Chains A and B, each alone.
Chain A
Amino acid sequence: MTHPVLSIDQLVVERGGRRIVDGLSLTLEAGEIYALLGGNGAGKSTTLFAILGFLERSGGTLTVGGQDPAGQLDAVRAQIAYLPENVALYDHLTARENVDYLLKVADCPRSRADVEAAFGSVGLAANAWDMRAGRFSKGMRQKTAIALAMLRDTPLLLLDEPTSGLDPAAAADFHKLLETLAARGVAVLMVTHDLLGAADTADRIGLIAGGRIASEWFAQPGEPRFDLNALHSGFARVR
């Protein structure tokens, strides 16, 4: 039996006695890009933290590849690559050293050639590979982190506000990278405020309000993929 990459049903997460996520349901299949949109405090990041096992759920079910973080946390985390809003690397290490180190922490060392191939795939300029990460722009950090995710070869990629602070060209590059990953079968769940970016990349967009998905849109073939007016008005309602 094949499990969806991510399956969430009626998830409830409380923080400080308050229900932040309240009955959220979501299923994500391999190769799918899902954008979770919502205002501040809507429960987007809390949902990611529940998937990663940083927060315990107080209700509902949640599995990653059929495994529950409540009981199989390490097995679940082994299937997830996570990029926080601000990707931070070890500034005193080079991009290559950062990736080597973090791959070893994740217990999946890769060859030098693999690392260089991943850097090439994400568009990190060759002269940056052995440059200290302290000199990197946010876009370069994102690319390094995506290269790391590619090298870890996880089925699920979680992104927290990935394009905030990126200039439009860098954001467009980033979305292309996500499409590349999705084409390789990686399921991507990103939480974002960037409605236009989500509309460019996502296969599905969910609007989260009151701790649950209030409305959901599916990408249509052709252009535009989403009804931007409907998205805008939906987003305006929940913000």
Chain B
Amino acid sequence: MTHILREMWLLGRSRSAIWALLLLAVCASASVALGLASVARDRAVIDRMLAGQVAEEAALAAFVEDAGSGAYYGFQPTWDPPSDLAFAALGSRDIAPAVLRVRALALEGQIYENESSNPELALPGRFDLAFVAVYVAPLVLIALLHDLWSGEREAGRYHALAALPRARRRLWTSRVAVRLAGVLVALLLPFGIGALMAGTAPLRALGFAGLITLVCLLWTAIVLVVARLGVRSAVNAASLAAVWFALTLVAPAGVNLAINAGVPVPDGAALARENREYVHAGWDRPRDRTMRDFLKVYPQHEAGSAIPPTFHWKWYFAFQHLGDLHVAEQSQAYRDGIARRAEMGRIAGWVLPPAGLAQAMSAMAGTDVTAQLDYQMRIRAYHQRLREFYYDYLFSEKPFGPQELARVPRFDPAIGG
């Protein structure tokens, strides 16, 4: 303990080291504050949407006379509440929708029309704690440790220090431990405060703190290997900057490019357009063909499938449904492709530990692509329930009014349907 206190004192006397740690602490605090604000914004959007839903349903009840108009005009809210760790790793939450109001119409277009709603947000990138831990903290560790031995050698103190008894344990180990601890405190203190404010479950908070610690330990090991092998501080610093650049920027970007090239994924916007076009073409398609194709999927509605020669909601919702079936394969290929890319990214994470740990943080926070796909699947499950609720009324021609409107299935963010 004495040795740790002694090295803490020495670190405290180094102005540059203190500035580096303060800068890291400020970055970490800012990232946590921005993360908490982003999560609060998401929650406010969800709350506002749910509060508005009550008024909207009251308005709807005033004019809905049949199941068709209820299904057509009735938007139902779905939402993906941020997890208790989302503030620390925003992942794709800043570009993926956290809420989606759906109707019993064709779904695919509704899902993907949100996909590129805010692409400009993706330009500056996220500034969350995971970013600070993965990109900024290694630079501070490099600054603090790259000249651990070479700095003493260049200053002419190395041999005098190494000649002291038990210098390895008393000096170098304590010095590394104190500098690493300084970086961890700069990261984990703001995180701990953020976790308290977000009400994060203690075990999950510990798990996330463990990932941050792993990132720092990994970089400490890398820096120490280079610092041990290297002779001159400038060479060590340049080598480590190159390693940082390669491991955190170049290699992940290269792997990402390779994965994207190797796993082609249909364009989500094109999927939505195809869905819409097919649905619109439904107006001109022979009505009996539309109904026949629909009844292949829902033979139980055969008895009530007769439609008049004029407009009828049964026919309208049938060609909406067929619009989804028309792009079902493409939609599945899209999801499979995204999932496959995510899986390959995870595998690449074992070779590129910094990228792997960043992915693990997003996965733990429930903000990665997999979580985004899960939300889509929950929307699909809910939408299926919603449209089948209305089909039941439409094809059995049961009366539908405000009382039935109140029985419309509700979205459960945990399970979807």
- Chain A interface (Cβ within 8 Å of chain B)? 49, 52, 54, 74-75, 77-78, 80, 82-84, 86-93, 97, 101-102, 104-107, 145
Contact = CB atoms under 8 A, between A and B. Distances in A.
A93 B12 CA distance: 11
A146 to B, nearest CB: 12
Given A77-B167, A90-B157, A91-B155, 19 more contacts: A54-B163, A74-B165, A74-B166, A77-B163, A78-B165, A80-B163, A82-B159, A82-B160, A84-B159, A87-B156, A88-B155, A92-B15, A97-B13, A101-B6, A101-B10, A102-B164, A104-B3, A106-B165, A107-B170
B157 A88 contact: yes
Contacts of A78: 165
A91 B166 CA distance: 24
27 contacts: A52-B159, A54-B159, A77-B163, A77-B167, A78-B165, A82-B159, A82-B163, A88-B155, A88-B156, A88-B157, A88-B160, A89-B157, A90-B10, A90-B155, A90-B157, A91-B155, A92-B14, A92-B15, A97-B13, A101-B9, A102-B164, A104-B2, A104-B3, A105-B164, A105-B167, A107-B170, A145-B160
A105 B157 CA distance: 13
A83 B160 CA distance: 7
Contacts, number: 63
A107 B160 contact: no
Interface residues of B, number: 22
Contacts of A102: 161, 164
B171 interface: yes
B160 A87 contact: yes
A77 B9 CA distance: 24
Contacts of B160: 82-84, 87-88, 145
B162 A105 contact: no
A102 B164 CA distance: 9
Contacts of A105: 3, 6, 161, 164, 167, 170-171
Nearest to A77: B165
Contact of A75 (B6, B14, B165): B165
A145 B161 CA distance: 12
Q: Report, nearest first, the 8 A-B pairs whose CB atoms are least far apart.
A: A88-B156, A78-B165, A77-B165, A82-B163, A74-B165, A88-B157, A104-B6, A86-B156
Contacts of A87: 156, 160
Contacts of B6: 101, 104-105
Contacts of A97: 13
A162 B155 CA distance: 17
Contacts of A107: 165-166, 170
A104 B6 CA distance: 7
A104 B15 CA distance: 21
Contacts of B163: 52, 54, 77, 80, 82
